[in-house]
Amino acid sequence: MSAVLPLYFTASELAALVQVDDKTVYRWAQQEPSMPVLRIKGVVRFPRDRVLRWLAAHEQGQCRPRRTKPASVDPHINSQRAESHKSASPEDAA
C-alpha cells in the first residue's frame, strides 16, 4: 500500500518539511506575496506542488541562466564601437 501525498500542506507539515517553526511559515505566507497559499475563513493551506516549486525557486546557489544586458539601442554608440574596432588595425601597432 503506497502513501498518498496530500494536495495541500498544513503550516505544521510545511514547517516540518523545511525544518522551521510553524510561525515562520505563517510569517512567510503573510509577508511573501509570491508564496502560494490558500486562505478560506481562517484556514490556511499550502498547495503541495506549487509551494514545492516556490521553495525550489528560492534556493540559493542555483545555476540559473544569466541575464545579459541588451545591446545599446543607440545606433551611434554601436557604430562608434564598430569604427573604433576598424581603426585599430595591426599596422597601427607597428
Domain boundaries, the chain: 1-58
Q: Which residues contact 79 (CB under 8 A, 6 or more apart)?
A: none
Give the C-alpha separation, 72 to 79, whole Å: 11
- pLDDT confidence of residue 22: 96
- Tell me the average pLDDT across 56-70: 72
Pick 73 or 56 by higher pLDDT.
56
Whole-prediction pTM: 0.61
- pLDDT confidence of residue 5: 80
Contact 44, 11 (CB under 8 A): yes
What's the CATH number of domain 1-58, 2.60.120, 1.10.3470, 1.10.10, 1.20.1070? 1.10.10
**16-39 pLDDT tens trace:** 999 999 999 999 999 999 999 999
